[in-house]
Structure 1
């Protein structure tokens, strides 16, 4: 189902299992915290997990309102298979060129790129040198990766983002570098 930012369902039981599996059995093994700060989307499917992880691990948590998922307009709450059957031309056009062929009343990718890039930069600047766990959505993950790589939004949909997959961006004196996408928990 296309959830976007207009459909704010809680995580399913499978979603909870995926999220707990993603962060690993013990992010504090050897008493060395794996993250210093949790930042979350305001949407329920991210925020509820971030709150529980924060409480479990004794980590500070903040909500960044701009990290909400991209608005998919009239397609929110619908299944991609239904869209492909009911609106085949519009759905095919979107799949071919998601920049030029947004869903009706959907957020423009250029605006989304700006919103997410600014929010990401603001969080990195607010917590210099800290290891941040940003709990967010597939579209937000794609936009962060695009921002870090300075990739055109046209390329974002070529990035597969798994449910509860971990992406790591490392910042150093030379800027940001993408270390991995869709990893499962590992001490790295």
Structure 2
């Protein structure tokens, strides 16, 4: 049996404050850098680091890779979902401009996407394809994936067999939080397990 372990970490606080950011390419704030540095422990060991191409993930991943002397690969498919016309707007602004559409999206993302956005179904498919590709390419390794809240939700949807809409609304993913997924490849097939999701203090 071959075991692969993925640690997924969401980026820290971006510059510009809370908003539907999606593909909007803001860097981390100073507080975001502090959050990310605090989320990495001295005993962490990875063979490879993957990152979203967006600055709020990539800049920290590249800095960490240099410090740990580990290869860093930009994986464009792990970019956050596009929120279309909501990008760059706060929740309050979306509510003012789009009425109850925001509430309907969070209740049922599959049937109420934001205008001109990537659908949650397409996002789920994109992340699923990338997850399969990289879990095979890095089989047997310990991998850090620096990514986004939506990406982590869709990975967990595939691991736990959830619908994309249920996963989108079903997990809290704070800035710089970590999740661990274990993949056991055996002659009987692939077993995917969520080992940890939540505050770093409780991670095994």
TM-score by shorter chain over 0.5: yes
Q: Could you tell me whether the CA contact under 8 Å between 1:23 and 1:185 is conserved in 2?
A: no
1:76 and 2:87 equivalent?
A: yes
Deviation at 1:187, TM superposition (A): 7.2
Q: Could you tell me whether the CA contact under 8 Å between 2:53 and 2:76 is conserved in 1?
A: yes
Segments of structure 1 that go 5 or more residues without pairing to the other structure are: 29-33
Cα distance in 1, alignment partners of residues 175 and 195 from structure 2: 18
**How many residues are aligned here?**
181
Structure with larger RCO (C-alpha < 8 A, sep 6+): 2
1:183 and 2:194 equivalent?
A: no
Cα distance in 2, alignment partners of residues 103 and 169 from structure 1: 30
Q: How does 1:164-183 map to 2 (within 5 A)?
A: 164-172=176-184, 173=186, 174-183=190-199
User: 1:138 matched to which residue of 2?
Assistant: 149
Cα distance in 1, alignment partners of residues 130 and 106 from structure 2: 27
Deviations 1:23-43 (A, max 9, x none): 12x245xxxxx2111000011
More displaced, 87-96 or 114-123?
Answer: 87-96
Cα distance in 1, alignment partners of residues 48 and 107 from structure 2: 38
Deviation at 1:183, TM superposition (A): 3.1
Q: Could you tell me whether the CA contact under 8 Å between 1:113 and 1:143 is conserved in 2?
A: yes
User: 1:31 matched to which residue of 2?
Assistant: none
Q: Could you tell me whether the CA contact under 8 Å between 2:159 and 2:192 is conserved in 1?
A: yes
More displaced, 79-88 or 54-63?
Answer: 79-88
User: 1:2 matched to which residue of 2?
Assistant: 20
Segments of structure 2 that go 5 or more residues without pairing to the other structure are: 1-18
Q: Could you tell me whether the CA contact under 8 Å between 2:196 and 2:203 is conserved in 1?
A: no
User: 1:64 matched to which residue of 2?
Assistant: 75
Greater share of strand residues, 1 or 2? 2
Cα distance in 1, alignment partners of residues 170 and 99 from structure 2: 20
- After TM superposition, the score normalised by the length of structure 2 is 0.84
